[in-house]
Amino acid sequence: MDAQLIRFSKFISLVLRHQPQHYGLTLDAQGWATIDDLLAAANRAGVPLTHALLQQVVAQNDKQRFAISADGRAIRASQGHSIAIDLALTPREPPPLLYHGTASRFVASIRTQGLLRRSRQHVHLSPDITTATKVGLRHGSPVVLTVASGAMHRDGYQFYCSENGVWLIEAVPVAYLAFPKQ
């Protein structure tokens, strides 16, 4: 994705995941906005987004962050929200192991509290170590924790998988976490 499309992607993430009201946009209960309303909100904020550019942002997005509705008229972020919306995902059986990328400075706290969702609606887990390492790098020196997702599922915890393949869960207790040897 070129630099301009990345800027648009960050703006759309901000609006659809965190601050729709600030930009005068109303999402429905599942997080959808009409594309026309989103473009109007962007233009009011001085962001020169058009239908054609939006289609490029959605199609070329490295993580497929956004989904377009079946009728082509609405858009939502597939995960990552801090505002209360219901993605209406169905619980799914996870693979036996999932991974969480974090930064080394958070590890001591995670050892005592487990993984908490902090400002977001869910804890985000990755299906592979490479992806988790990239997530951790966003925060600093990356550390990848292994989550015993199969055992958690057997113990009754509910897992969801977003449209773009990010595993979501309310929290992960310490008992299900493996930390790399230091």
Closest to 55 measured CA to CA, from 43, 45, 44, 66 = 66
Position closest to ligand HQG via CB:
102
Report 49-78 residues binding ligand HQG (CB under 6 A).
63, 65
Span near ligand HQG by CB under 6 A; candidates 24-32, 48-56, 132-140, 146-154: 132-140
Do residues 122 and 84 touch, judged by C-beta distance below 8 A?
no
CA distance 157 to 11: 33
Is residue 12 part of the contact set for ligand HQG (CB under 6 A)? Answer: no
| Cα dihedral across residues 49, 61, 80, 90: positive or negative | positive
User: Least distance to ligand HQG from the beta carbon of 100, Å?
Assistant: 6
Among 5, 97, 103, 148, binds ligand HQG (CB under 6 A): 103
- Our finding on whether 143 is near ligand HQG (CB under 6 A) is no
Find residue 130's DSSP bridge partners: none
Q: Are 126 and 167 contacting, i.e. CB atoms less than 8 angstroms apart?
A: yes
Whichever of 73 and 105 has its CB closer to ligand HQG, that residue is 105
Residues 81 and 113: their CA atoms lie apart, in Å, by 22
What is the binding site for ligand HQG (CB under 6 A)?
63, 65, 80, 102-103, 106, 109-110, 113, 115-116, 118-120, 124, 135, 138-139, 166
